[in-house]
Structure 1
Amino acid sequence: MGELQVEKHVKYILAVEKRKDDFESVVMEHLRLNGAYWGLTTLDILGKLDAVDQDEVISWVMQCQHEDGLQNEDGSFSGDMWGEVDTRFSYIAICSLALMRQLDKIDVGNAVKYIVSCKNVDGGFGCTPGAESHAGQIFCCVGALAITGSLHHVDKDLLGWWLCERQVKSGGLNGRPEKLPDVCYSWWVLSSLILIDRVHWIDKEKLAKFILDCQDKERGGISDRPDDAVDVFHTYFGVAGLSLLEYPGLKPIDPAYALPVSVVSKVILGK
């Protein structure tokens, strides 16, 4: 099947973090906080989080905090001051508030109602009501429903079939019908299947091989497909997917919170 190049992936992530001033980093400034999440979570899953200065990271993250936020009247959430609405933001808000034990600060019932309004006849979910089903949005909606104890709104068999049909001959998963496989869907699809108890409907061994084939075995990092350029985004989702597949040596990750189980237990349950 191949071997996960743990040390090389750690070196790659740390090297990316140091390149704050090159052209690529500057044009991707708006995604830097996302990149910190992808990189740090990958290091944690690999058991290498002590490779970074945590005080420095916390200080930088706190500088990114804004005063505005929270919920619209219809139960949805806007991602910024300009008002874009997307079920991604519903998931982020619900997940973040749950981690802070602050879900009572919003109307959870209304938030769930909005998410359910984005469900389609194929069992999937879109970014807004009536929008096309997409594996990324499905994770956001199913994850949010799982966190709020609302998975009874999901048709598990119907959604399960839609999700398992995302697996192609190479073993990889795509996000929509007739699209190419992409390592990131190793997370979006797999986590959703686990949350609805239908993960046994795909070939997990072939998926693991696909992820491992997307590694840069010389310099580290994981790409969307074999032999493409690597990035932190796909490195995280590849490693997270392998964690869900119980690859040896990786910390288990929570399929709803997208964080190591040990973190979720400590933050939410106080263990």
Structure 2
Amino acid sequence: MEIFGDMGELAAEKHVEYILSVEKKKDSFESVVMEHLRMNGAYWGLTTLDLLGKLHAVDVDQIVSWIIKCQHDSGGFGGNIGHDPHVLYTLSAVQVLALFDKLDVLDIEKVSTYVAGLQNEDGSFSGDMWGEIDTRFSYIAICCLSLLHRLDKINVENAVSYIVSCKNLDGGFGCMPGGESHAGQIFCCVGALAITGALHHIDKDLLGWWLCERQVKSGGLNGRPEKLPDVCYSWWVLSSLIMIDRVHWINKEKLVKYILDCQDLDNGGISDRPDDAVDVYHTYFGVAGLSLLEYTGLKAIDPAYALPVDVVNRIFIGRQSKKES
């Protein structure tokens, strides 16, 4: 897309080097603070590499064997070896295995039974055995079970009703009924409704207006009114706008420029705001945001599943074509 020609460029090679280096620096501050959520870090880093066309730079067998060691007898996955299972890390494990086309290493029945077991009577989901409830967990469970072709293991109607009960007068969604609208929660609720074919519950114009109001002067997006912009909302806001078909309501060129301004051009990586320290989380969401914006040279990403479109197609279309042949 030529419109992005004069905005500076994505330092793709530097970002690849940065992601590969994070994994090697076991004693770095970033490694230590991420130790308990390494499974999420693996998903962010590896999906970024795939979007950049560089997934072949990693040792697949090594990563797959580490993922399997993070699984518990319950079927759920921990954030690292020896850490408690949680639906958050379980989805990341499934997503990483999907990237590598290795879902067949899983006992799918066991994993899906763990996730389905976290649904409560009102349709909501707990994150783990301790029972915290949040619409994030509704999305995570629905996304995970859908990728495993096991949505029939939960009460989808109740799950949708619970999410709809978290809808606010401004068109947005909160983490529970009555919770403040927040772009991250909106993504979770819109994504879950998209996957379950229930987007008709959303007032698309009202929500689209709330979301496009998140763009600030610099071109970046914030998560709530009066907050600073942050690269991660390039994903949360943009993917939601795409799913409800209102992405043309924001200035895409200014958002591209904002994301590119948050790059560390010397050492790679992307930060939340220009000149801040980079991390894997914002590197992923920056690249994923650029992918949604159809930035040249990046693979397309699916706004609901947060995986490259070719991976999602392999899971949902590939299986059918195998059955037909």
Aligned with residue 154 of structure 2, among 60, 81, 106 = 106
Looking at structure 1, the residues matched to 12 and 30 of structure 2 have their Cα atoms a distance apart, in angstroms, of: 24
Residues 98, 268 of structure 1: 8 Å contact kept: no
- Structure 1: which amino acid aligns with 2:315? V
Alpha-carbon spacing, 1:23–1:227, altered in 2? closer, same or farther (3 Å): closer
The answer as to whether partners of 1:76 and 1:111 remain within 8 angstroms in 2 is yes
Question: Relative to 1, partners in 2 of residues 1:183 and 1:147: Cα closer, same or farther, differing over 3 Å?
Answer: same
Structure 2 unaligned runs (5+)?
1-6, 75-113
Any idea what SS the aligned residue of 1:230 has? coil
Structure 2 partner of 1:6: 12
What fraction of aligned residue pairs are identical, expressed as a percent? 81
**Alignment match of 1:155 (pick from 200, 203, 220):** 203
1:119-198 correspondence runs (5 A): 119-198=167-246
Q: Provide the rounded CA distance (Å) in 2 between the counterparts of 1:268 and 1:175.
A: 31
Q: Is the 8 A contact 2:23 2:31 kept in 1?
A: no
**Aligned letter for 2:44?**
W
CA distance in 1, matches of 2:184, 2:275: 23
1:49 maps to 55
Deviation at residue 23 of structure 1 after TM alignment: 4.5
- Work out the CA distance in 2 between the residues paired with 1:21 and 1:59: 22
Report Cα offsets for 1:51-102 as digits up to 9, x if no partner: 0011111111112223144311111111122111111111111011111111
Query: 1:121-158, CA deviations, whole angstroms, 9 ceiling, x for partnerless residues?
Result: 00000111110000000000000100000000000000
In the other structure, the counterpart of 2:299 is 251
Amino acid corresponding to residue 121 of structure 2 in structure 1: E
Q: Specify which of 272, 278, 286 is matched with residue 224 of structure 1.
A: 272
Runs of 4+ aligned structure 1 residues displaced above 3 Å come to 21-24
CA distance in 2, matches of 1:246, 1:72: 39
Looking at structure 2, the residues matched to 9 and 28 of structure 1 have their Cα atoms a distance apart, in angstroms, of: 19
Query: Which structure ranks higher in relative contact order (CA pairs < 8 Å, sequence separation ≥ 6)?
Result: 1
> How many residue pairs align between the two structures?
271
Provide TM-score, normalisation by structure 1. 0.98
Q: Following the alignment from structure 2 to structure 1, what is the Cα–Cα distance between the partners of residues 178 and 18?
A: 40
What TM-score, normalized to structure 2? 0.82
Tell me whether 1:61 sits opposite 2:109 in the alignment: no
**For residues 9 and 62 of structure 1, what CA distance do their matches in structure 2 show?**
27
The one-letter code of the counterpart of 1:63 is: K
Structure 1 partner of 2:38: 32
Q: CA deviation at 1:27?
A: 3.1
Quick one: which amino acid aligns to residue 239 of structure 2?
A: S
What is the SS of the residue equivalent to 2:298? Answer: coil
Letter in 2 for 1:13: I
Question: In 2, distance between residues paired with 1:115 and 1:63?
Answer: 33
Segment of structure 1 superposing worse, 255-264 or 19-28: 19-28
Structure 2: which amino acid aligns with 1:7?
A: E
